[in-house]
Structure 1
Amino acid sequence: MVESIRLLRAARESAVKSRSAALVQLGGLIISAPQQLRDRLACRTTLRGKAALARRWRASTEELARPTHAAKFALRSIARRIDTLDAEIAGLDRRLEQLVRAAAPRTIELLGISTGHAGRLLVTAGQNIERLRGEAAFAALCGASPVPASSGKITRHRLNYGGDRQANRALHLIAVCRLRYCERTRAYARRRGAEGKTKPEIIRCLKRYIAREVYHALRADLAAIDPRPAIRDTTIICGAGPIGITRRRT
């Protein structure tokens, strides 16, 4: 199931990039379009609004040699492409939400974790989360583990710029959400701020705690999907007997 989520997320990310590129291209064409077309679009303040208006335009294919009709045709084409990509992204979101809710029910119950965040963290952890030694390894994989940056008599840690940056972004958004809506998190931030921690350092600490919480939730969710015994709990010696291999004495 995790592999299915990864594939659908890859398709969604591609569609989002294409939509962003189409919006940028639409804005560039509007700037260089004839004045009368710009005036018609002036009533809409956002690119999304301008795209919704341009999508309903009618352009004469017999008069495309005229710049006004060519610009109208091009703007309508890009606006309809944006609309198609919106529908594609919405469809992928619905299917991803179904898969993530089935794969990680415990994880999405945690405060501040949406199905999008849970899907990203599921892909980072992978189907076989047992390959990770523990929650510290998962935090390092997400770029949330502290990196020592002490100097002289100063003992401190800095941000970790390694790991999966998309998973790190998901942890960051979860931390920001909890800073806004969770009183316990706000109290923790005030306490660490009184100790001299800066806001980025406080968020770094929060991401580390969230990574620990998410790891245990993901492990429980993935164990329910694939209830195989943990590989690391079975030693080579324990597995040698049933297949007829005796331990060599030295």
Structure 2
Amino acid sequence: MEELTRRVSRDVRTHRPRLLDIVGIGPDSAAALLIAAGDNPERLANEAAFAALCGVSPVEQPSGKTRRRRPNRGGNRQADAALYRIVVTRLRRDTRTRTYLERRTKQGMSKREIIRCLKRYVAREIYRQIQPMTAFIAATTVT
């Protein structure tokens, strides 16, 4: 098991060295997100498209007087699970994330809604790291 983790870490560092430096991202989560992005380079025109691919783009869910958003149910389940693991790790270890959780809880949001927002923020941060890869793949497949 340790050998597999070392290999995955090495491969992720080879292709996206700064991805593992982001708080909460381990080799398994990074690999799942890179696989999702690499499988669908034509769908990654912007970070909103990456969020939709991962299943964390917000979808309006109006019910009566309340307007809420829920996560998009489509998308890559492994990428969504990787984002969830990253958020849970950040909630345990990152002070900025805990502060955000406290602030949004005081505003009346449920923990589930807060995690949805955090997954979207993490997807945005990760897209910035993998964006050069998707541009490179798209450019090489066009020619």
Please say whether Structure 1 and Structure 2 have the same fold, judged by a TM-score greater than 0.5: yes
Deviation at residue 99 of structure 1 after TM alignment: 0.9
Q: Whose RCO is larger (CA < 8 A, sep 6+)?
A: 2
Deviation at residue 200 of structure 1 after TM alignment: 0.8
Question: SS of the residue aligned with 2:63?
Answer: coil
Question: SS of the residue aligned with 1:133?
Answer: coil
Q: How does 1:1-250 map to 2 (within 5 A)?
A: 89-126=1-38, 129=41, 131-220=43-132, 222=133, 226=136
Deviation at residue 127 of structure 1 after TM alignment: 6.6
| CA 1:215–1:230: 2 relative to 1, 3 Å | farther
Residue-pair matches, total: 142
Deviation at residue 131 of structure 1 after TM alignment: 4.1
Q: TM-score, normalised by structure 2?
A: 0.87
Flag as ranges the 4+ runs of structure 1 deviating above 4 A. 226-232
Q: TM-score, normalised by structure 1?
A: 0.52
Q: Deviations over 1:144-190 (max 9, x none)?
A: 11121112221111233221111101000100111111111111111
Consecutive unaligned residues in structure 1, runs of 5 or more: 1-88, 233-250
| CA 1:177–1:103: 2 relative to 1, 3 Å | same
User: How far apart, CA to CA, are the structure 2 residues paired with 1:149 and 1:230?
Assistant: 39
| CA 1:223–1:124: 2 relative to 1, 3 Å | closer
User: How far apart, CA to CA, are the structure 2 residues paired with 1:128 and 1:197?
Assistant: 33
Larger Rg: 1
Q: Percent identical across equivalent pairs?
A: 49
Question: SS of the residue aligned with 1:150?
Answer: strand
User: How far apart, CA to CA, are the structure 2 residues paired with 1:198 and 1:93?
Assistant: 35
Q: Deviations over 1:109-151 (max 9, x none)?
A: 1111111111110000017746412100100110111121112
Contact 1:124/1:164 (CA < 8 Å) preserved in 2?
Answer: yes
User: Once superposed, what is the RMSD of the aligned Cα atoms?
Assistant: 2.4
Task: Report which of the two has the higher share of strand.
Answer: 2
